[in-house]
Structure 1
Amino acid sequence: MQVEHDAKWIKRFSALSKLYFTPTFLGSEHIDASKPAMYVGNHTIYGVLDAPMVIDYLFNEHQVAVVSLADHSHFYLPIWRSIVKKFGAVDGVREYARTLMQQGYSILVFPGGGREVLKRKGEAYQLIWKERYGFLKLAQEFGYDIVPFAALGGDEVFDLGFDANHIVQNKYFQKLLKIPQLNKLLRRGDVIPSLPSHLIPKRIPFYFQFMPRHSIMQIENVEQLIAFRAEIQHSIYNSLENLKQLRSQKTK
């Protein structure tokens, strides 16, 4: 399977973001280009500000050819699809991921997917992973360590002017979701976006924290898998709180 990693494009595209958001990366000692891993983190609102900087940092600073498993919706529009592919992203289909892992690529996963990107009011920095465990099963199948990471900043650059809950929780919309075809198309309302009150993002410093690698090979049953995922989530939440404290100290 061919992956379109365009190093120059990645560096050029993320350069503006880095100038604007002045990102700080921590935990580089947990990044090892010689051993493929699955990088798992939180996705910030709209998903176009944090991911490019993570991919750029891993690819151009650490020579980790990471492939991002992207939401299917990214591949519906021809021009946008081409841009996404230049960042080494592929449609997040399990068989695609399996093929890439067979080829030895590291994988970038945002388990919250499209729903975590389309946050609503009060959901800043929430992990909306639902019942997703497939990424962990893939990591175990190929012996990949999990490298959790936390991204701070992205959920604060926009104030939401329109909350998607106004539509999703509407009784008439809920009736529409009872139609199976519409429910599937709208993903139970998950694809309805909240809209920002301003188009230009606030200039807030971004922080990224990579955490120690976790082996998943000791998992033997569903209960252990659930506990392992909860541990990963807990480490991301803790890291986000630590990054908030660090940012607060630096801005005093």
Structure 2
Amino acid sequence: MTEPAISPSVRALETLLDTATDALSPLMRLYRPYVRGLQNLPADGRFLLVGNHTQNSSEVLLIPYYVRSAIGTRVRPLADRQFGRMRGLQADLVTAYGAVVGTPDAAHRLMDQDETILVFPGGAREIAKYRGEEYTLSWQNRDGFARIAIEHGYPIVTAALVGGDDVYTSIVSRDSRLGRASRWLSHRLSGRSDMGMPLVRGIGPTLVPRPQRMYLSFGPPIATTPTEGEADAWTPAIKGRAQRQLEAELEDLQQIRSTDPFRQLNPLSWPAALTP
């Protein structure tokens, strides 16, 4: 399957985004994200990144930035299928960023080309966190990423991010009256009840986001080539291993964050910020 022709507007946006990415270094030095595990990234760029979504989606920026900085490859995110309905400038921006709608055909095509791929198995529904759901994965029966990685012999690298779910605080639980109402409204508007947005607050009672340091960890690669006699059970085994590794990384990063004096980006604590 050949790639569709790229329009001049998308090419221009690609150049603009590349320039913006190259200019991010001073900002990264200012906010000093905690980043570990870059040595776990296969140097050939042929691997599948599996991450968690957070409420402010900073992982969509940070993961590709640090992969590119470490090994020089461009990350191709697999976007939730709802993004396939975008048109105009929004669609051009998603395409210019390198993202493709996360269909099996798209994933197969990218792996055939040995691309570095990023997927969030929880999809967009993992962004909407109700009270008590911070840093939890919403994968349910989604194991397509593991099956396709196995078919192509693609190693999986987990990418855990902590900090994004602390920018806002959800003030309702999923099963509360307001939580059920938001999910009902989401279903009426989009046909998906899992996209309901909870009521949140940032600084005080406002929607101004709380400044938070981000904590990113790349786990050791998970080999996906099955051994003899294990092929039938290999997809759920790989999915389970990736999920357990990502959950363990998230728990560990939360522990690190709890002792970091720079976790709320207080400039006075900058010299004492924890480093890997």
Q: Indicate which of 127, 137, 141 corresponds to 1:131.
A: 141
Q: Distance in 1 between matches of 2:30 and 2:39?
A: 26
Which consecutive segments of 4 or more residues in structure 1 shift more than 6 A? none
Determine the structure 1 residue equivalent to 2:265.
Answer: none
Determine the structure 1 residue equivalent to 2:257.
Answer: 247
- CA distance 1:159–1:145, change in 2 (3 Å): same
User: What is the percentage of aligned positions where both structures have the same residue?
Assistant: 28
Structure 2 gap ranges (5+): 262-271
Tell me, yes or no, if the aligned pair for 1:18 and 1:53 is still in contact at 8 Å. no
Tell me, yes or no, if the aligned pair for 1:119 and 1:194 is still in contact at 8 Å. yes
Q: Indicate which of 190, 195, 198 corresponds to 1:194.
A: 198
Q: Distance in 1 between matches of 2:128 and 2:30?
A: 22
1:87 CA displacement: 2.2
Per chain length, whose mean CA-contact separation is higher, i.e. which structure has more relative contact order (CA < 8 Å, sep 6+)?
1
Determine the structure 2 residue equivalent to 1:52.
Answer: 61
Q: Aligned-residue CA RMSD in angstroms?
A: 3.0
Say which is worse superposed, 136-145 or 214-223, in terms of deviation: 214-223
1:98 CA displacement: 1.2
Normalised to the residue count of structure 1, the TM-score between the two structures is: 0.83
Are 1:213 and 2:213 an aligned pair? no
Deviation per CA, 1:132-158, whole angstroms, max 9, x where unpaired?
Answer: 111111111111001112111011111
Matches within 5 A, 1:72-221: 72-75=81-84, 76-161=86-171, 166=177, 169-170=180-181, 173=184, 185-187=190-192, 189-197=193-201, 198-218=206-226, 220-221=230-231
- CA distance 1:9–1:86, change in 2 (3 Å): farther
Q: Distance in 2 between matches of 1:40 and 1:66?
A: 12
1:212 alignment partner AA: P
Structure 1 gap ranges (5+): none
2:80 alignment partner AA: D
Tell me, yes or no, if the aligned pair for 2:78 and 2:119 is still in contact at 8 Å. yes
Are 1:69 and 2:78 an aligned pair? yes
Say which is worse superposed, 22-31 or 227-236, in terms of deviation: 227-236
1:223 CA displacement: 3.4
1:222 CA displacement: 4.7
Q: Distance in 2 between matches of 1:78 and 1:161?
A: 35
- CA distance 1:80–1:226, change in 2 (3 Å): same
- CA distance 1:249–1:86, change in 2 (3 Å): same
Q: Distance in 2 between matches of 1:59 and 1:40?
A: 16
1:224 CA displacement: 3.5
Tell me, yes or no, if the aligned pair for 1:70 and 1:90 is still in contact at 8 Å. yes
Which secondary structure state, in structure 2, belongs to the residue aligned with residue 215 of structure 1? coil
1:190 alignment partner AA: D
1:196 alignment partner AA: V
1:210 CA displacement: 0.6
Are 1:34 and 2:44 an aligned pair? yes
1:133 alignment partner AA: D
1:221 CA displacement: 4.1
Determine the structure 1 residue equivalent to 2:264.
Answer: none
Deviation per CA, 1:58-117, whole angstroms, max 9, x where unpaired?
Answer: 123321221000112334253332332332111111111211111110110110001101
Q: Distance in 1 between matches of 2:124 and 2:77?
A: 13
Tell me, yes or no, if the aligned pair for 1:39 and 1:108 is still in contact at 8 Å. yes
1:242 CA displacement: 1.6
Say which is worse superposed, 128-137 or 31-40, in terms of deviation: 31-40
1:208 CA displacement: 0.5
- Which protein shows a greater Rg? 2
- Between the two proteins, the alignment pairs up a number of residues equal to 243
Tell me, yes or no, if the aligned pair for 2:160 and 2:217 is still in contact at 8 Å. yes
1:89 alignment partner AA: A
